[in-house]
């Protein structure tokens, strides 16, 4: 194969991929498959000065929790499926409180897990399904969970 043929094939493939991206974006916007994501990190009011540890979480998760009074909540919503991750102090009542709060907001809990990360830190993961009768954004759910769980810190 000569260079011209390789460049022509590469150009056709790039155009194909661009069209495919446009198709997927259109189906995502037209359907209810839009993925919402929201993240928060709450610092204790008793811990001051170290704001560099209060960064948001991203897909390469480095836990910014430095004290037992920190709380980080990450929510992803796709359609009516919801994934909630809570980084917090190791406290079994926090997981129960988060599940109770989500059920009161008309979520059906499919699966939950509490994973101890270190001596005093845990990762709570909740997979839930949102009721068809409500429309809640990821940010609204984060705010509800944050206000409910802040009483336990």
Q: Residue 86: give its domain's CATH number.
A: 3.30.70.260
Domain identity same for 58 and 47: yes
Q: Which of 62, 65, 40 is nearest to 139 (CA)?
A: 40
- Locate 91 and state its tokens: 């406290």
The answer on 15 and 81 residing in a single domain is no
Residues of the domain holding 50: 32-152
pLDDT for position 109: 95
Residues 132 and 73 in one domain: yes
Q: What pLDDT was estimated at residue 100?
A: 93
Q: 85 is written with which tokens?
A: 């991750």
- State whether 135 and 80 are in the same domain: yes
Q: What is the mean pLDDT of each run of 10 residues along the chain (153 residues)?
A: 88 90 72 56 40 33 43 86 88 87 93 88 92 86 88 69
Identify the bridge partners of residue 22 per DSSP, sorted by sequence position: none
Structure-token pair, residue 64:
């910014």
Rg (CA), the chain: 21
Give the model's pLDDT for residue 60.
28
**Residue 92: per-residue pLDDT:** 72
Q: Looking at the structure, do residues 97 and 142 belong to the same domain, yes or no?
A: yes
Question: What integer pLDDT is reported at residue 118 of this predicted model?
Answer: 81
Cβ-proximal residues to 7 (8 Å cutoff; 6+ apart), any chain: none
- Model pLDDT, residue 49: 37
Q: Supply the angle between the helices 138-149 and 92-104 in degrees, to the nearest 10.
A: 130
Structural domains of the chain, count: 2
pTM (two decimals): 0.59
């Amino acid at each position: 194969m000569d260079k011209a043929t390789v460049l022509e094939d590469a150009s056709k493939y790039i155009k194909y991929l661009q069209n495919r991206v446009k198709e997927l974006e259109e189906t995502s916007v037209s359907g209810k498959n839009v993925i919402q994501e929201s993240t928060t990190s709450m610092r204790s009011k008793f811990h001051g000065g170290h704001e560099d540890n209060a960064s948001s979480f991203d897909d390469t998760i480095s836990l910014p929790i430095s004290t037992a009074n920190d709380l980080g909540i990450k929510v992803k919503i796709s359609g009516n499926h919801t994934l909630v991750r809570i980084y917090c102090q190791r406290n079994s009542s926090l997981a129960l409180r988060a599940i109770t709060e989500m059920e009161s907001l008309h979520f059906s809990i499919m699966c939950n897990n509490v994973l101890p990360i270190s001596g005093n830190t845990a990762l709570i993961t909740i997979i839930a399904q949102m009721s068809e009768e409500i429309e809640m954004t990821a940010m609204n759910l984060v705010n509800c969970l944050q206000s409910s769980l802040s009483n336990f810190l």
